[in-house]
Structure 1
Amino acid sequence: MPSKSPAQTLLERADKKANSSTGWFSSTSTKFEEAGDLYQQAANAFKLEKQFREAGDAYAREAECREKCKEINEAANAWWNAAKAYKRGHPDLAVQALGQTVTHLTSSGRFRQAADREKEIAQIYQHELSDLRRACDSLERAADWYAQEDATATANACFKDAADLHAELEEYPAAIQRYEQVADQSLTSALTKYSVKDYWLKACLCALAMKDSITAKRNIQKYMAQDPTFASTRECKFVNAIIDAIQADDQQAFTGCVVEYDQVTKLDNWKTSILLKIKRTIESEPTIL
C-alpha cells in the first residue's frame, strides 16, 4: 500500500480536528482555529506537490473554518489563496472562490481590494471561460468601486475595457456611453488627454457599426467642441473619410481609407474587427440602378 503524502496526512489531521467534539476546556472557536491552521498547512503541502485542485479545496476548507471563528480578514485571504490554486486548471472554481473573497472584502469596507479581485474575476470570464457578458459586468462593478475609492486611472482602464467588450457583444449604445465617459474623465488631466482621440474614434466606429452615420457625424461635432484640437487629428480625419465612403456606398474608397490609416497607425484586433462589420453594412446596402 503506498504511503500517504505529507499533504494527505495533514489534511486528515485537519478533518479530524474540524469534526472532533470539543472537550471541557476548549471552545468551538479554538477547534476551528486549529483546524484552519492545519488546512492551511495541508494546502501549502499540496501546492508543493503541484496538486492545485487539492490545494484549492484545502484552502476553501480553511476559509470555512475562519468564517466559523468570525475571522473575516483571514477567511477572505484563504478564499483568495484557494482562487489562486484553482486558477491552475479550474477557472470556474476560481471564480467561485474569488466571489467569496469579494463578499468578505465588501462587507468589511475594503472596496479597493474587492475591486482588484473583481477585476481578476473579469479576466477569468474573458480569457478562460469566454463569457464576455459576465466579464463586462465584473469590469463595471470593479470600475465603480475603484472610482469611489478615488483610484480614477484604474477605474477608467476598467470602464474602457468594459466598453471594448460591450462593442464585441454589439451593445453599441452602451459602448459609446462608456467611451465618452472615459474621454470626459481623461480630458481633465494633461497626462491622459492624449488618449481621448482614440476613445472618440472607437465611439464613432460603434455608431457606424449601428449603420448610424448621422449620429457619428453629430458626435464628431460634439467632440470638436469639447477639444478643438480633435479636428486636426488623424483619428478625426479617418472617421470623416470613412463616413464619406459609407454615404457614397463606395466599398473601394472605404478599404482605401482603412489601408492608408493602418500604414501609419497599426490597427489592433478590436478596430480591425469592427471595421469589417462596418464594411459589411456597405456590402449589404442594396444598389439602386
Structure 2
Amino acid sequence: MPARSPAQNLLDKADKKANSSTGWFSSSSTKFEEAGDLYQQAANAFKLENSFREAGDAFAREAECREKCKEMNEAANAWWNAAKAYKRGYPDLAIQALTQTITHLTHGGRFRQAADREKEIAQIYWHEINDLRKACESLERAGDWYSQEDATATANACFKEAADLHAEIEEYPQAIARYEQVANHSLTSALTKYSVKEYWLRSCLCALAMKDVVTAKRSITKYSSQDTTFTSTRECKFVNVLMEAAEAGDQEMFTGAVVEYDKITNLDNWKTAILLKIKRGIVQDEPDIL
C-alpha cells in the first residue's frame, strides 16, 4: 500500500475533526473552526503537490466549515481559493466556487469585489468553455455592479467586451445597444471622448451585418448630431463607402474600401470577421441569362 502524502494526512485529520462529536466543554463552532484550519492546510499542501483538483476540494470543505461558524468573509475567501485551484483544469468547478464567493460578497454589500469575481467567470466561459452567451451575461452583470460602485471605466470595458461578443454570436441589436451605451458614457468626459468614433463604427458595422443599411444611415445621422466632428472622421467616411457598396451590390468597391482603411488603421480580428460577414451578404447583380 503506497504511503499517504502529507496533504492526504492533513485531509484525514480535517475530516476526523469535522465529523467528531462535540465534547462537554467545546462548542460545535470551535470544532468547525479547527476543521476549517486543517482543510486550509491540506489544500495548501495539495497545491505544493500540484494536485489542484484535491486542493480545490479541500478549500471548498474549508469554506463549508467557515459557513457553519458564520465566518462569512473567511468563507468567501475560501471559495475564491477553491476557484483559483480549480482554474488549473476544472473550469466548471471554478465557476461553481466563484458563484459561491459572489453570493457571500453580495450579501455583505461588497459589490466591487463581486464584480471582479463575476468578470473572472466571464473569462472562463469565454476562453475555457467557449460559451459566449454565458460570458456576455457575466460581463453585463459585472458591468452593472461596477457602475453601482462608480467604477465607470471598468464598467464600460465590460459592456464593450459584451458588445463584441454579442456581435460575434450575431446578436446585433444587443451589440448596437451596448456600443451606444458605452459611447454615451464616453462622450461625457474629455479623456474618453476620443474613443467614441470606434464604438460608433462597430455599431454601424453591426447594422450592415444585419443587411440593414437604413439603420446604419439613421445611426450615422444620430451620431453626427451627438458629436459634429464625427462626420469628418475616417470611421464615418469608411462606413459611408461601405453603405454605398452594399446598396450597389458592389463587392469590389467594398473590398477596395476595406483595403484602403486597413492601410492606415490595422483591422483587428473582430472587424475582419464582421467585414467578411457583411461582404458575403452583399448580393451582386447577376447578369441575365438569355
> TM over 0.5, yes or no?
yes
The separation in 1 between residues aligned to 2:271 and 2:146, in whole angstroms, is 27
Gaps of 5+ in 2: none
CA displacement at 1:2 relative to structure 2 = 2.4
Distance in 1 (alpha carbons) for counterparts of 2:128 and 2:194: 32
Taking a change above 3 Å as real, the CA distance of residues 20 and 286 of structure 1, as seen in their structure-2 partners, is: farther
Look up the match of 2:223.
223
Distance 1:286 1:126 in 2: 39
1:279 is aligned to: 279
RMSD, aligned CA: 0.9
Deviation at 1:288, TM superposition (A): 6.7
Q: Which runs of 5+ in 1 are unaligned?
A: none
When residues 210 and 288 of structure 1 are mapped into structure 2, their CA distance, relative to the original with a 3 A threshold, is farther
Who is 1:41 aligned against?
Answer: 41
Matched to 1:62, the amino acid is E
> What are the Cα deviations for residues 208-262 of structure 1, in whole angstroms up to 9, with x where unaligned?
0111001101110110111111111110010001111111110000000001111
Question: Cα distance, 1:180 vs. partner?
Answer: 0.3
Please give the alpha-carbon distance, in whole angstroms, between the structure 1 residues aligned to 2:83 and 2:217. Answer: 47
**1:159 and 2:159 correspond:** yes
Q: Give the C-alpha shift of residue 120 in structure 1.
A: 0.2
1:194-217 CA-partner distances (Å, limit 9, x unpaired): 110000000000000111001101
Q: In the TM superposition, what is the alpha-carbon distance from 1:287 to its structure 2 partner?
A: 3.5
The equivalent residue for 1:206 is 206
TM-score normalised by length of structure 2: 0.98
**Other-structure match for 1:259:** 259
Please list every run of at least 4 consecutive aligned residues from structure 1 whose deviation after the TM superposition is greater than 6 angstroms: none
Q: Return the alpha-carbon distance in structure 2 between the equivalents of residues 282 and 140 of structure 1.
A: 32
Letter in 2 for 1:3: A
Determine the structure 2 residue equivalent to 1:70. Answer: 70
Q: Could you tell me which amino acid in structure 2 is paired with residue 102 of structure 1? A: I
Q: If the length of structure 1 is used for normalisation, what is the TM-score?
A: 0.98
1:128 aligns to what SS in structure 2? helix
Partner residue, 2:92: 92
Aligned positions of 1:15-54 closer than 5 A: 15-54=15-54
Stretch of structure 1 that moved more, 1-10 or 219-228: 1-10
Structure 1 residue 172 corresponds to structure 2 residue 172: yes
SS of the equivalent of 2:282 reads helix
Q: Distance in 1 between matches of 2:92 and 2:122?
A: 12
Mapped to 2, the partners of 1:147 and 1:286 lie a distance apart of 48
Instruction: Give 1:12's aligned amino acid.
Output: D
**Cα deviation 1:130-177 (Å, max 9, x = unaligned):** 000100000000000000000000000000000011111111111000
Shift in Å, 1:73: 0.5
Q: Which amino acid aligns with 1:209?
A: A
1:177–1:288 distance in 2 versus 1, CA, 3 Å: farther
Q: What residue identity is the alignment partner of 1:71?
A: E
> Within 1, Cα distance between the matches of 2:68 and 2:4?
29
Q: CA deviation at 1:19?
A: 0.4
Cα deviation per residue 1:81-132 (whole Å; 9 max; x = unaligned)? 0000000000110000000000110011100000000000000000000000
Match of 1:189 in 2: 189
Partner of 2:123: 123
Identity of aligned residues (%): 79
Distance in 1 of aligned mates of 2:146 and 2:85: 26
CA distance in 1, matches of 2:20, 2:212: 68
